[in-house]
Chains A and B, each alone.
Chain A
Amino acid sequence: MKLNYRVVLLIIATIFGIVFSLPSLTQSERGAKVTLGLDLQGGLHMLLGVKTEEAVTSQLKSIASGVSRFAEKNDIMIDGLNASSDTVTFELLDNDDAVLLDGYFKKIEGTVVRASGGNYSIAMTPVAVEKLKVQAVDQAIETIRNRLDQFGLAEPTVAKQGVDKILVELPGIKTQEEEQRARELISRAAKLELMAVDEDRAMRVNELGDAEAMGYGDKILVDALQPKVKHLVREIPILDGTMLTNAQVGYDQNNNPTINFTLNSEGAQIFGDFTAKSVGKRLAIVLDGKVYSAPVINERIGGGSGQISGNYTTTEANDLAIALRSGALLAPIYMMEKRSVGPSLGADSIRASLLALVSGFGLVILFMMFYYGLAGVIANLAVVINLFIILALMSLMGATLTLPGMAGIVLHIGLAVDANIIINERIREGLRAGIPTRRAIAEGYSKAMRAILDSNVTQILACTILYVYGTGAIKGFAVTLSMGLLASMLTAIVGSYGIYLLFMDRIEKNKNYTLWFGMTRKAQ
């Protein structure tokens, strides 16, 4: 027996396979390992869409509120200020102020201002709209990630998919309650607005329709705690959550949880100015379109801090504070796809696929030994090493093993022996034709190799296309399969040949083809 490079390669591949698949097999803390897909370990998978057009609407609203502030500050008389889904319109009453106003608009980037006879209409340029949409998605990803990080779940994944979709994967979710809490945290717009109550018409709030209220530049909002109570507020907020610097859970005098927020200096300034000239009027604290409280302003409020009180549990208050701290979502998100698997089902799936793996594998091994004798044992060895290599490669890539991936591996065992069957049938053919052992084996390998190579190259090419065009499950499938094909070429063509070479002298000497190749018919 003398070593040859093929055997050495096989031994190296074996060691590689075993060493790098060990962390996955033992589920140890250290080392790269295969992550189990959510369908196997349980968890929540969501594909979220972003309503980017609403980011545009809210951007226009904030332009409108800027105009309103600017006009007030400089004593410019404007009327009918209104923000629709694509334009902001108003009427300038005194044309002498046009220069001042134009100067203001020059400073706002990405807008187109049209003015005719004092009627102004402001729209965003298409480029600015696109930019804002992209920004809205990126910001949503950032925000969701921030929120989940503070939520304290193990290994959350938040990633962009396509142009305007967000993939969220939470493996740590165990119960439906937990899942619902996470969903609420993610989807919460957390849009804080401070709005002035329209005291002139507040009495008539129950008689007004939405359209009529809009005509006055007002908006009807419901109360968060008493859904039947309505509030009439000015449509354009005094300020919003973008000027918020901090939000913490506190407790009021009755020991109920509240959320205390702090504004930045600009926000504090606006807040102070507003309260100073609105003494006796009410200020509505609005969160996600609902009025949480509308206290009467007694005096100028400096310092820029406020409080939101609702009937919160501490957990709810805590989640809300997280949402406020991590910022509002520029655009609302919605669910496009959700897959949630309970941990018990995942365990069942693992058990079922392992059972299929073990029994399928057992069948194949027995068959090969029975049919091909020692050649079958060599083939089995190649298949086992092959499995280790797949697992090792997947671990190193940090690949995810899903249920279809599992099925792919089970199936791969069936296919991996095929290379060995082709080779063994070729060798038998040669031996039967009376070709000397050494040459029969060599020819068997070289001829089988051409067919295997042709087929595998075609299949790997197909896998590449699948990987590029496929989605989730299909991608995993393509990765498992192509790795299997590469590993089987290494173990079957290179490795097992090396083993034959190792024992060649012995095979040549005793010529026991029944023992070595399972041949029962005499050679011609």
Chain B
Amino acid sequence: MELFKEDKIYNFLGKGKIFFLASFVLFFLAIALISVKGFSFGIDFTGGTVVQVKYTEAAPIDKIRESLKKNELFAHATVTEFGSPQEVIIKTPASTMGLSNDIGDTTKKILTGTGDFEIRRVDMVGPKVGDELRVKGLTAFLLTLLAIMATVTFRYEWRFALAAIIAIVHDIVITFGFVSYFEVDFNIESVAALLMILGYSIHDTIIVYDRIREHIEESKNTDFVMIVNEAVSRTQSRTTLTSLTVFFVVLTLFVFGGDIMMGFSFPMLIGVIVGTYSSIFVAAQLVVWTGFNVAGYRQMLAEKVKNRAEKEKMRAQFEQGIV
């Protein structure tokens, strides 16, 4: 089966300004949303306690709220249904430090009398842990960006690297704009999703870059816009197919993974869409706008080849004892 006309070259860059505008608007909308509305951070970051309780019958949410209210630890607690009517999640910003009688034991005591239940999960994070996670996570993220910048510069050129980084940030910011909008819990799994999107975005971008490089090396064309258009058109079938398979796989995670995977599967779902869009419409476009010079790049390549040849010549001479 074939869905794409490989030989046709689409003028992706011709519509560059429209996509740029779309990306621009989305990007800043996302930033505005994140800064105004923020995230509903999970306890991994804020500290606090999450207790998952399963009743044998439908959970008496009102009764649970009533009983919890009496205890100071649960003064700001929320009770929500989780996955099924039998199951609830109790979330409170409070945590306890003692080991012998902790907040999980307290919950059990409080809920006695609300029905037949089983406490399935107690996650408690003290305030210090969250801070450390934030610092470590941010360090890892920035270092990863630096590493990507370095490798892409080494294998391609700094302008390619810069464009790739901008595309990554674009993807991540827009994705998490959606996370903020839909009030999906931002937890440690969301960080994993963020990193996954980062990996996916750079992967997609590099596949397109590789094509651009190939065309620069193999064709005599000096019009960079045409080279990019051709490269993007040629890789478009693979970009779409891969995105579709990944999308469907993530969709199964989203559908079957349940609420507990939500913090991972939701951002992934959005990230795949945005990542695909950006590798077709944004990343390559940006390289053009950074003022990439085809002739200059070819010259650099030629020099590299020349240098290598010269080195080999020198070595040969050296080995023969001429120098």
Contact = CB atoms under 8 A, between A and B. Distances in A.
A187 B99 contact: yes
A414 B249 contact: yes
A422 interface: yes
B104 A340 contact: yes
Given A337-B129, A473-B188, A455 B97 contact: no
Interface string B111-153: 0000000111111111011000100110110011001100110
Contact of B125 (A334, A337, A454): A337
Contacts of B252: 355-356, 359-360, 363, 410
A462 B129 contact: no
Mostly, the B contact residues are helix
A473 B253 contact: no
A418 B199 CA distance: 13
B125 to A, nearest CB: 5
Given A334-B97, A364-B245, A459-B203, A466 B268 contact: no
A462 B207 contact: no
Interface stretch (A94-102, A304-312, A424-432, A490-498): A424-432
A311 to B, nearest CB: 17
Contacts of A471: 133, 136, 188
B105 interface: yes
B122 A339 contact: yes
Nearest to A429: B6
B210 to A, nearest CB: 4
B288 interface: no
Contacts of A422: 207, 238, 242
Given A334-B97, A335-B124, A415-B200, A356 B257 contact: yes
B249 A469 contact: no
A184 B99 contact: yes
Contact of A413 (B207, B238, B249): B249
A179 B107 CA distance: 14
Interface residues of A, number: 82
B1 interface: yes
A338 B124 contact: yes
Contacts of B291: none
B188 A474 contact: yes
Interface string A324-338: 000000000111111
Contacts of A341: 120-121
A333 B249 CA distance: 44
Contacts of B244: 367
Contact of A462 (B99, B119, B199, B237): B199
Interface stretch (A11-19, A204-212, A291-299, A514-522): A514-522
B153 to A, nearest CB: 11
B155 interface: yes
B72 interface: no
Contacts of B242: 414-415, 417-418, 421-422
Contacts of A429: 6, 234
A477 interface: yes
B56 interface: no
A48 B118 CA distance: 26
B250 A335 contact: no
B265 interface: yes
B207 A359 contact: no
A370 interface: yes
Given A413-B249, A432-B7, A407 B129 contact: no
B124 A344 contact: no
Contact of A520 (B1, B137, B253, B257): B1
Interface stretch (A277-285, A345-353, A390-398): A345-353
Contact of B136 (A355, A360, A432, A469): A469
Interface in A371-402: 371
A180 interface: yes
Nearest to A458: B151
B10 interface: no
B318 interface: no
Nearest to A333: B99
Contacts of B104: 176, 179, 338, 340
Which of B139, B198, B248, B253 has the most A CB atoms < 10 Å from its CB? B253
B195 interface: yes
Contacts of A470: 136-137, 140
B34 interface: no
Nearest to B119: A176
Contacts of A519: 2
Contacts of B101: 180
B307 to A, nearest CB: 21
B206 interface: yes
Contact of B140 (A410, A451, A469, A472): A469
Nearest to A46: B99
Nearest to A457: B151
B100 interface: yes
Contact of B258 (A187, A352, A364): A352
Given A187-B98, A360-B253, A459-B202, A407 B260 contact: no
A504 interface: no
B214 interface: yes
Contact of B260 (A336, A344, A403, A411): A403
A337 B207 contact: no
Given A364-B249, A477-B192, A465 B140 contact: yes
A432 to B, nearest CB: 6
B257 A458 contact: no
Contact of A345 (B100, B121, B126, B253): B121
B27 interface: no
Given A356-B252, A360-B249, A432 B124 contact: no
A461 interface: yes
Nearest to A517: B2
Nearest to A404: B192
A179 B105 CA distance: 10
A47 B268 CA distance: 29
Contacts of A179: 104
A131 interface: no
Contacts of A46: 99
B61 to A, nearest CB: 19
15 contacts: A48-B99, A334-B97, A337-B126, A338-B104, A342-B119, A342-B120, A352-B261, A359-B256, A360-B248, A364-B245, A367-B248, A371-B1, A413-B249, A451-B210, A469-B136
Given A425-B237, A432-B6, 8 more contacts: A180-B100, A184-B100, A342-B119, A363-B249, A364-B245, A429-B234, A455-B202, A461-B147
Interface of B: 1-2, 6-7, 52, 54, 96-102, 104-105, 108, 118-126, 128-129, 133, 136-137, 139-140, 143-144, 147-148, 151-152, 155, 188-189, 191-192, 195-196, 198-200, 202-203, 206-207, 209-211, 214, 234, 237-238, 241-242, 244-250, 252-253, 255-258, 260-261, 264-265, 268
